[in-house]
Amino acid sequence: MADAVVTPVTEVRRARPKPRSRLRKFFERKSTIAFFMALPLILLIFTLVIYPAFYAIYLTTLNKRMTATAWMKNCTYLPDWICTYIPFGNLQFLLTRETFWMVFWQSCLFAITAVIFKALIGFIVSHLVHNIPAKGQRKWRGMLLVPWVIPAAMSTLAWQWLFDPSYSAFNWILAQFEIERIAWTGVAHWARFSVILVNIWIGAPFFMIMYLAALKSVPDQLYEAAEIDGANWWQRIWFVTLPMMRNIIAITALFSTIVTFANFDIVRVLTAGGPLDKTHLFATWSFRLGIEGGDIPLGATVSLFMVPILAVAAAFILRDITRRGNEA
Amino acid sequence: MTSVTVDKAGPTRATPKYGSIKRDRAWALRWSFVFLTLFAFAFLIPPIYMFITSLKTSAEISAAKNPWWVFNPTLGNYIDLLAAPQYLIFFKNSAIVSVSVVVITMLIAIPAAFALSRMRFWGSATLATGVFLTYLIPETLLFLPLFKMFAVFNELTGIQLLNRWWVLLVVYPTLTVPFATWIMIGYFASIPKELDEAAIIDGASWMQTLVRVFVPVALPGIIAATIFAFTVSWAQFLYPLAFTTSIDQLVLPVGIITTLIKGDVFNWGQIMTGALLGAAPPLIIYAFLMDYYIAGLTAGSTKG
């Protein structure tokens, strides 16, 4: 019966005029449909991510008004052909600027310090949550994640008020202990401390959640075995927890390095780069130069300095993810 | 609760030979609670202080009394702010933008994730990796070229995008779609192949398979992606700050920061109220859908 039905159908199909059916067939093909389903995504990525990324590189070659190419000046110390053919005027301008190197150093300090402390605090807090009976964990986890949930710009506003020059609530507490008031955002090193502190406060809960998820995937038997073998708590962490969590620790830190290095909201709201550019990061400085200063090419040049570090972190993350994909 | 558990462990001290591990655990538990309380308190100081300040009048704030206590609580700040047409415009803009971005994100991400995880076409594996890489590109890298692109676009077509709130509908998907697609690929990949094979054999088209079979089954993933898209669009600060300037085009975070903070006027009570109300929608969503929120958070790098 089945054969009787199927055979005529194929005959009819063969009998059809060719060109039209071929086009239709193309559109009915699985891969074609799939391509059209993914087309909006492809268009979005190409027009609004990849194109602007290359456009940024082009922008770096222009002068402030974007009317002409920005050539290097006074570059007798370089071979002639470099000066005549390579439009690195903005780059040259930046590299000879003290503020640029300060921003460079500050960005690294900010990212490295913040990521280390976020990872440490996240690690500690995730262990604390993991230690308590499972019944109460949800409640604690819920409370501890609040800093991550509040929009960064809004919570930084609260910190700004906590750090207020004349009404700082922290200074009020210090005053109760007769400790001199601190200019949280007024002095360079305290301002740097403050922006890093706020970043840690916002980011540590994320680490906590990731590490908690990783801790839950470590089998209890391993700890029990270690405990019976007489391992103390430090040995249990060093020989059981860390090796089992290595992947998550690495990938979370890399993610966070990208986000922290490219951070904008916190510095922008808390100090706006001040005092005297002492807290600017690449992102905030490029905003200052590009949008507020009206020099888009220079701003774009500054922001492109984030690319190498981001690329390295992204390459490591990608390696990890494809490796795990292959294992699965 | 802490003390009860610890007391129960107490008697084991009489027989230390067997009880040492148990006693260790009781102590670990006790200390865990102590430190957790400390950490939770430290983590919650800013929101608590926001709330405290929002209940104060400017007079009380400037009186330099104990800033950690409210002597004369008032809802004046909330009433003033909610009665200000400006603030309501910010709120409306934020709500429209965030909800629309969620819809746009889902319309783009779900079919794309389905195509990438189930249907395969030339270059689909590369595209999946590309989606993930796109998610890693921070917005601080793209805002200047985008700014210039929109200006050029205006010159070419006469369509003004800069300083209009709908420009955010164009740029926010670049932040939300890659991640949403990525976690949806993960969720779709966990659905057994038999399910879509059965649907196809029963005569469903690919679109029907997606809408009737995959979407209902992957609903937890979709909810997680929706929450992510909403909170990201609600919290985004750089793009609206760079692309919109007129008061009536601002979204909430930028609106609060650019209009409420005026160097010479002292209104921290209102600023904190505004910030708290601006933080409220993500917090409320989080309070009710915590498990989905956390699932979305951990999916990004634990799935793949």
pLDDT tens, position by position, A221-278: 888 888 888 877 788 888 888 888 887 888 888 888 888 988 898 988 888 877 888 8
- For A57, the closest chain B residue by CA position comes to B145
What pLDDT score does A117 carry?
93
Task: Give the pTM.
Answer: 0.83
What pLDDT score does B15 carry?
46
Query: What residue type is assigned to position B137 of the chain?
Result: I
C-alpha span between A284 and A280 (Å, rounded)? 6
Pull the structure tokens for residue A200: 């840690």
Query: Which of A103, A65, A69, A95 lies closest to A83 in space, CA to CA?
Result: A69
User: Mind telling me how many Å the CA of A147 is from chain B's nearest CA?
Assistant: 7
Q: CB contact, 8 Å: A147 with chain B?
A: yes
Distances (CA, A) of B301 to A29, A46, A313, B120: 33, 24, 14, 23
| Secondary-structure percent of chain B, ordered helix, strand, coil, rounded to 5 | 80, 0, 20
Partners of A69 in beta bridges = A62
User: Mind telling me how many Å the CA of A281 is from chain B's nearest CA?
Assistant: 11
Confidence of residue A121 (pLDDT cuts 50, 70, 90): very high
Query: Which of B124, B73, B91, B2 lies closest to B277 in space, CA to CA?
Result: B91
What pLDDT score does B3 carry?
39
Contacts across the A-B interface (CB distance below 8 Å): 293
Q: Of B139, B254, B294, which is closest to A209 when you measure between CB atoms?
A: B294
Pull the structure tokens for residue A119: 């990872």
Pull the structure tokens for residue A177: 């202990």
Confidence of residue A8 (pLDDT cuts 50, 70, 90): very low
Map residue A69 onto helix, strand or coil.
Answer: strand
**Mean pLDDT, range A186-202, rounded to an integer:** 89
- The least confident of B3-7, B102-106, B231-235, B283-287 is B3-7
User: Mind telling me how many Å the CA of A84 is from chain B's nearest CA?
Assistant: 25
- For B301, the closest chain A residue by CA position comes to A251
Q: Of B5, B33, B61, which is closest to A167 when you measure between CB atoms?
A: B61
What pLDDT score does B264 carry?
59
The mean pLDDT of chain A is 81
- Interchain contact, A30 vs B282, CB within 8 Å: no
User: Mind telling me how many Å the CA of A22 is from chain B's nearest CA?
Assistant: 18
DSSP 8-state code for residue B71: S
Q: CB contact, 8 Å: A38 with chain B?
A: yes
C-alpha span between A96 and A81 (Å, rounded)? 21
Map residue A62 onto helix, strand or coil.
Answer: strand
Per-residue pLDDT tens digits for B31-58:
888 888 898 888 999 999 989 888 887 7
- Interchain contact, A34 vs B115, CB within 8 Å: yes
CB B97 within 8 A of CB B251: yes
CB B283 within 8 A of CB A149: yes
Sign of the Cα pseudo-torsion (B79, B85, B90, B91, in order): positive
**B238 C-beta neighbours (distance < 10 Å), count:** 24
C-alpha span between A273 and B218 (Å, rounded)? 44
Q: What is the tally of helices (H) and strands (E) in chain A? A: 19, 0
Confidence of residue A325 (pLDDT cuts 50, 70, 90): low
- The least confident of A99-113, A277-291, B5-19 is B5-19
- Interchain contact, A283 vs B238, CB within 8 Å: yes
Comparison of pLDDT for A12 and A279, the residue scoring more: A279
Comparison of pLDDT for B197 and A19, the residue scoring more: B197
What pLDDT score does A177 carry?
84
Query: What residue type is assigned to position B154 of the chain?
Result: N
Pull the structure tokens for residue A133: 């009976």
In this structure, whether the domain defined by B76-302 belongs to CATH 1.10.3720.10 is answered with yes
User: Mind telling me how many Å the CA of B247 is from chain A's nearest CA?
Assistant: 17
**Mean pLDDT, range B6-24, rounded to an integer:** 52
DSSP string, B159-188: ---TTSTTHHHHHHHHHHHHHHHHHHHHHH
Map residue A20 onto helix, strand or coil.
Answer: helix
- For A252, the closest chain B residue by CA position comes to B301
Which residues of B are less than 8 Å from A44 in CB distance? 108, 173-174, 177
Q: CB contact, 8 Å: B201 with chain A?
A: no
User: Mind telling me how many Å the CA of A213 is from chain B's nearest CA?
Assistant: 8
DSSP 8-state code for residue A180: P
Taking each helix axis as running N to C, give the angle between helix B167-189 and helix B290-302, from 0 to 180 degrees, rounded to the nearest 10.
80
What 3 state SS string does B227-286 have?
HHHHHHHHHCCHHHHHHCCCHHHCCHHHHHHHHHCCCCCCCHHHHHHHHHHHHHHHHHHH
- For A175, the closest chain B residue by CA position comes to B66
Which residues of B are less than 8 Å from A237 in CB distance? none
Domains in chain A: ranges and CATH: 20-58 (no CATH), 60-96 (no CATH), 99-327 (1.10.3720.10)
- Interchain contact, A286 vs B144, CB within 8 Å: yes
Rounded percentage of chain A residues whose pLDDT exceeds 70 = 86
| Secondary-structure percent of chain A, ordered helix, strand, coil, rounded to 5 | 75, 0, 25
Taking each helix axis as running N to C, give the angle between helix B268-288 and helix B16-54, from 0 to 180 degrees, rounded to the nearest 10.
130
